[in-house]
Every structure is written in C-alpha cells, then in structure tokens.
Amino acid sequence: MKSFIHQLPKAELHLHIEGTLEPELLLTLAERNRIELPYRSVEEVQAAYRFTNLQSFLDIYYQGAGVLQKEADFYALTWAYLKRVARQNVKHVEIFFDPQTHTDRGIAFETALTGIFSALQTGRQELGISFRLILCFLRHLSAEAAMSTLEQALPHRDKIIGVGLDSSEVGHPPEKFVHVFDRARAEGFLTVAHAGEEGPPEYVWEALDLLKVERIDHGVRSLEDPKLVERLKAQKVPLTVCPLSNVKLRVFDKMADHNLKQLLGQGLCVTVNSDDPAYFGGYLEENYRAVWEALDLSRDELAQLASNSFTASFLPDGKKEHWVQEIRKLC
C-alpha cells in the first residue's frame, strides 16, 4: 500500500509556504540575515515544536517566518518544497502565502511574491509541477488591513488566483471579512477560507454564505452539524483536510480518532493535505500514509482521495480529467 500511495499522482491544495521552513533552512537564513532566534541547533528547534493548540503553533510559525528577508530567501524556501514533493509524485500544488506576515515587518509585498512565484515557475519547467498561488489574509488582524493587502495584490492578478483566510480562528469569524471577500470576488479572485478547524460549524456556514468560498480549508468540525454536511454534499464543496496538522494541534488526540474516513463515508469531497509540513512532521505522502495506517483506508478510498485532490483543484476540466484517468489506471 505504501508503494500504491507513492505512485498515486497527487495534488496539494492546502499548504502554507511559510510552513515548509525546515529547521536547517531556518538556522541558515537566521545566520545569513543576522536574525536572533532562541535556538542554536536543529534539535533545539525541533524541541520547540510541541504544540497544545493552533495559537501555540502560530506563535512559533510567525517567529520562524521572520528569517525570510530577501527575494532569494522566498525562492529558496519554495524551491526546497517543490523538490521535496516532486519525489512524492505531487503533480499540482495550490499554495498559500501570508503577505501580512512579511509586509508588517517591512518586507515588500513584491519581495515575497516574486521569490515564491519564480520558484513555482522553475518547478513547472524543471519538475513538471503545475501550480496556483493563493494569498491569505491574517484573520487576527483587522478587515481594513486585509483590504489594503488586497489592494496590493491587484496589480498581480495574473499571478494570484484567489484569496483565503488563515491564522487564529476562534473569535475571528468569517463575517468579519465579508466586504473584503466581496471586493476580492468583484476583482476576479476565487475565494477559500479556513473554517471548522478549531472554530464551530457556524464559521463554515458563514464561509459558504457570506464569503461564498469554493473550498473549505479543514472543515473537520462540519460533521457536528448534519444540515451542514448536507449542504457541503449538495454543493460538492471540497474540504482540504490536514491530518498530521490536526493531530499536532490537538484537534484530534490521535490519528485513530480523526474523522476523515467518516467525512469520506458521508460522500463529501475530502482531500488530504499537509498544511505546514516542516512543523507537523510530514509532507503529502506522509499524510496519506498516516491516515491509511490509523484509519485502515482501502485502495479505493486512497484513490478517491487522490482523485478528489484534482477535481477540487482550480485546474481546467481537461487537466482534472487527465489526472483522474491516470489514477483510475492504477486501480
């Protein structure tokens, strides 16, 4: 089954590029850019990666992102991620970046964007990995700050396909960003949002009804509300589930408790993703393996997850169909 998982062509739809900063690169960039960190070795960094909830992770994640200063740093980060997932048969990636994490430190929007985008272009040419780029607003900051970030993105509509919403969920409901998302859609961006990770099913309803999202990022708490499950099913709204993240951030105590198999069994378009792999102990293939082992998934269920990852993507229909057929040939 491990080799079946490896062979499956896969798409990654929920990946924060800042969350791919491995301890080695973190320390190298800190030294090069003369940034003080509270760690001196990879072991010390890893020892700090014990989280009790989303916020305890975000505090360390934002501190880590502080080492990203130059365009070349963003390029190196993205290129390292792409090389790694090319070896896992990842064929398409839709990645998030958090401009405010950088602009609030005085790094230009274009510095982050250009570094990330150039590496994605190299990845397409040299590794054959197609891509889409999604900007995320930090929901713990104001709606006005999100609007000004959206305005900075307007000259780059050719590079950024959509906008999303991430960071501290509880206390920052989707409703707070309704005007920003209205404007984003009017400007031609697609929309997604993190909802139902730590927050209640009501936040998933708001993301659907108010932000009119194409996908829900996480959404695992949707299962608490049968009417919401019906809605997600009727509208075929994909959920980008991140199993290792959910266990590391204690959304579930252990992988055997994860509800991914139930979500699939309800007929929802569930996908498997890695969220912040450098912090959560695994990239895409490790996430597939973890759910297979803990939840005893069948070959059909694994193939369904891989097929869903393409059908839920922002690829054109012809490309989606191509990858779905390739997966079917393996079954």
Residues tagged active-site = 197
Cα–Cα distance between 278 and 68 in angstroms, integer?
A: 15
Is position 16 an interface residue for ligand ADE (rule: CB under 6 A)? Answer: yes
Pure H helices in the chain: 2-7, 23-32, 42-48, 54-65, 71-86, 99-103, 109-127, 143-153, 178-186, 201-209, 226-234, 243-248, 260-265, 277-280, 284-295, 299-311, 317-330
Per partner kind, with CB cut-offs from 5 to 8 A, the member of Zn ion, ligand ADE, none near residue 167 is ligand ADE
224 in helix, strand or coil?
helix
Q: Work out what residue 19 binds among ligand ADE, Zn ion, none; the CB cut-off runs from 5 to 8 Å by kind.
A: ligand ADE
The residue sitting closest to ligand ADE, measured at its beta carbon, is 166
Q: How many residues does the chain have?
A: 331
Round to whole Å and give the CA distance between 159 and 137.
17
Give the total of residues touching ligand ADE (CB under 6 A).
Answer: 11
**Collapsing DSSP states into helix, strand and coil, what is residue 11?**
strand
198 binds Zn ion (CB under 5 A): no
Residues 153-182 that bind ligand ADE (CB under 6 A): 166-167
Which CB sits closer to ligand ADE, 84 or 319? 84
| Closer residue to ligand ADE, CB minimum distance, 12 or 197 | 197
In angstroms, the Cα distances linking 59 to 154, 238, 316 are 29, 28, 37
Position 276 contacts ligand ADE (CB under 6 A): yes
Out of 10, 132, 194, 320, point to the residue binding ligand ADE (CB under 6 A).
194
Binding mask 264-293 for Zn ion (x = CB under 5 A): -----------x------------------
Q: How many CB atoms lie within 10 A of CB 316?
A: 9
Q: Which of 222, 240, 245, 287 forms a contact with ligand ADE (CB under 6 A)? A: 245
Q: If binding is defined by CB under 6 A, does position 20 make contact with ligand ADE?
A: no
Binding site for ligand ADE (CB under 6 A): 16, 19, 54, 61, 166-167, 194, 197, 245, 275-276
